[in-house]
Amino acid sequence: MLKLFFFSRFRIVTISASLLQKKKKKEAPDRAARAPPRQPAAAAAMEEPEPGAEAAAPPGLRSLLPPREFLGSRKGQLLLAESVLSFIIFICYIASSAASFMMAPLLEFLLALFLFFAYASKLNEKFKGLYWPLTDFLRCVTAAVIYFAISIAAVSKYNDGASKAAGVFGFIATIVYAIDFYITFNDLVTFLKQGSSESPEERKSEDEDSDSDSD
């Protein structure tokens, strides 16, 4: 009886184990079909963009843009305001009956835009033969006088809205240019003081060097 009991128990265990194995074999293809296909590691790395790749500007475009330090500086903001105001005044004079005044804001726009990119690209440090503060000071003084004169003429002699708008923006440009030439004048005085503080021996040595170079 004991042998028969143990034999029957062993038989039951082996049958249940074989049934479990068959069930696992049937479930394995179903799981493989339901699982999403795996991509190779190289393909996944190529598809995923690098962090900050989209935000980075192309190197060619970045070289054309002015640096943030210059845009945040007082001189950069003044030159940018002068360029924008001069362009607006130029457009207003084109659309007005006082079209004879349009050359003045056009020239001031081009000069302000040139100096904006010159200071942004540090051309004043590369070409030291041209005295930049004096040139900028004379530009600001003449622009303030010209804008003040043509703005008075546009407001008093012409009755159309474009001329009035050009005159109003001209007065604003006069104030901006006045602030700019005041700041530039302070820089000019500081430079002249630094130049006059040189000792006579240093000036004499510089003159001797220039004479030796000319010989």
Task: Kindly state whether residue 178 falls inside one of the protein's structural domains.
Answer: yes
Task: Kindly state whether residue 66 falls inside one of the protein's structural domains.
Answer: no
Domain that holds residue 202: 71-214
Helix, strand and coil content of the chain, in percent to the nearest 5, comes to: 80, 0, 20
Task: Kindly state whether residue 19 falls inside one of the protein's structural domains.
Answer: no
pLDDT tens digits, one per residue of 57-70: 455 545 556 677 77
Using alpha carbons, list the distances in angstroms from residue 157 to 108, 173, 175: 23, 20, 22
What single DSSP character describes residue 57?
P
Lowest mean pLDDT, pick from 60-64, 110-114, 183-187, 188-192: 60-64
Measured CA to CA, the distance from residue 48 to residue 61 in angstroms comes to 25
pLDDT tens digits, one per residue of 111-153: 999 998 888 888 877 777 677 788 889 999 999 999 999 999 9
Task: Kindly state whether residue 40 falls inside one of the protein's structural domains.
Answer: no
The total number of structural domains in the chain stands at 1
Task: Kindly state whether residue 59 falls inside one of the protein's structural domains.
Answer: no
- Spatial contact of 73 and 183, defined as CB atoms under 8 Å apart: no
pLDDT over 70, % of the chain: 58
Measured CA to CA, the distance from residue 86 to residue 106 in angstroms comes to 7
pTM metric for this prediction: 0.60
Task: Kindly state whether residue 180 falls inside one of the protein's structural domains.
Answer: yes
Task: Kindly state whether residue 160 falls inside one of the protein's structural domains.
Answer: yes
